[in-house]
């Protein structure tokens, strides 16, 4: 007589049920992980662009501006629409024809919001100092202040994590 091998219907249903239970518990934590990772990635991009702007201001001995930009060619829009980084050769505090755009960041994903106490532009002077004084950037998602990511900028242009408490 030949012995049958394989799964019975009852064993298969038990395994499928266990997998469904594990997925029900695991999915919310994966979603939170993805949101946390997205916030961290976006704030790190901003920090790296600020560090690059400060470095370029020092190397070029010229004013360098990071401003909110919804179209990647002018300083119009909100921070979550994206931003551009450029050398302000004529010290006009705005993007003029012929001034080199150093970096462009497209709009933030997932309806995340980025606000600043410094307005819609940030200027490093030719010494790498903040021309606007101290300020903060706050990055939030749909979870609000509970998962806020923020950075603060000192008078000397130094960027550090934290500092903001509102979105």
Is residue 1 included in any domain, yes or no?
Answer: no
pLDDT averaged over consecutive 10-residue blocks of the chain (167 residues)?
A: 77 92 81 93 97 97 96 94 96 93 95 94 96 94 93 96 87
pLDDT at 166: 87
Structural domains of the chain, count: 1
- DSSP string across the chain: -PPP-S--HHHHHHHHHHHHHHHHHHHHHHHHHHHHHHHHHHHHHHHHHHHHHHHHHHHHTS-EEEEE-SSSSSS-S-GGG-EEEEE-TT--SS--TTPPEEEEE-PPSTT-EEEETTTTEEEE-TTS-BTT-SEEEEEE-TTGGGG-EEEEE-TT--EEE------
Is residue 130 included in any domain, yes or no?
Answer: yes
Is residue 29 included in any domain, yes or no?
Answer: yes
CATH of the domain at 31: 3.55.40.10
| Domain housing 155 | 10-161
Is residue 5 included in any domain, yes or no?
Answer: no
């Amino acid at each position: 007589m030949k012995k049958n091998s394989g799964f019975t219907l009852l064993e298969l249903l038990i395994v499928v049920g266990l997998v469904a239970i594990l997925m029900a518990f695991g999915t919310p934590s994966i979603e939170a992980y993805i949101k946390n990772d997205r916030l961290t990635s976006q704030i790190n991009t901003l920090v790296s662009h600020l560090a690059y702007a400060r470095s370029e201001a020092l190397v070029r001995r010229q004013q360098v501006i990071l401003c909110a930009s919804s179209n990647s060619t002018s300083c119009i829009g909100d921070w979550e629409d994206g931003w551009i980084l450029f050398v302000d050769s004529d010290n006009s505090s705005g993007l003029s024809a012929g001034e080199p755009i150093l970096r462009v960041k497209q709009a933030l994903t997932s309806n995340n919001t980025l606000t600043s106490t410094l307005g819609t532009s940030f200027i490093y002077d030719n010494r790498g100092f903040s021309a606007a004084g101290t300020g903060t950037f706050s990055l939030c998602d749909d979870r609000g202040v509970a998962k806020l990511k923020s950075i603060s900028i000192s008078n000397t242009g130094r960027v550090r994590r934290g500092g903001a408490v509102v979105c």
